[in-house]
């Protein structure tokens, strides 16, 4: 099964890194959902919650204050101005 390779970083640390089946993020013009095979994109993020479904089924929730997201060849990078890990279960 193909997976997304996800890396979420803030200005001070790596918040989460791993394989995922889905990422949902608060883009500037509304929420955006990313799955394997999504076309490449670059988006500004607004304050909100990044939701990640890890390959093992865990749900990772990270609040961000803004930043940007890039996706290319199933590699997702979220660079947050500030971020807080809310849950990982």
Mean pLDDT of 42-56: 98
Tokens matching residue 2: 């193909």
Instruction: Identify the CATH number of the domain in which residue 21 sits.
Output: 2.60.15.10
User: Predicted confidence band at 11 (pLDDT cuts at 50, 70, 90)?
Assistant: confident
Q: Which domain holds residue 84?
A: 4-88
- Whether the predicted pLDDT of 12 surpasses 90: no
Tell me the pLDDT of the chain averaged across its residues: 96
pLDDT at 70: 98
pLDDT at 62: 98
Rounded Cα distance between 59 and 56, Å, is 9
Predicted TM-score (pTM) of this structure: 0.94
**Considering its fold, how many domains does the chain have in total?**
1
SS3 content of the chain, % helix, strand, coil (to 5): 0, 70, 30
Q: Which residue has the tokens 């304050």?
A: 47
């Amino acid at each position: 099964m193909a997976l997304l390779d996800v890396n979420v970083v803030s200005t001070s640390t790596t918040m989460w890194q791993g394989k995922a089946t889905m990422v949902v993020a608060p883009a500037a013009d509304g929420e955006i959902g990313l799955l394997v095979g999504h076309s490449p994109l670059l988006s500004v993020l607004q304050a909100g919650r990044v939701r990640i479904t890890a390959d093992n089924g865990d749900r990772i929730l990270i609040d961000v204050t803004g930043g940007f997201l890039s996706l290319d060849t199933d590699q997702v990078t979220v660079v947050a101005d500030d971020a807080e890990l809310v849950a990982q279960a």
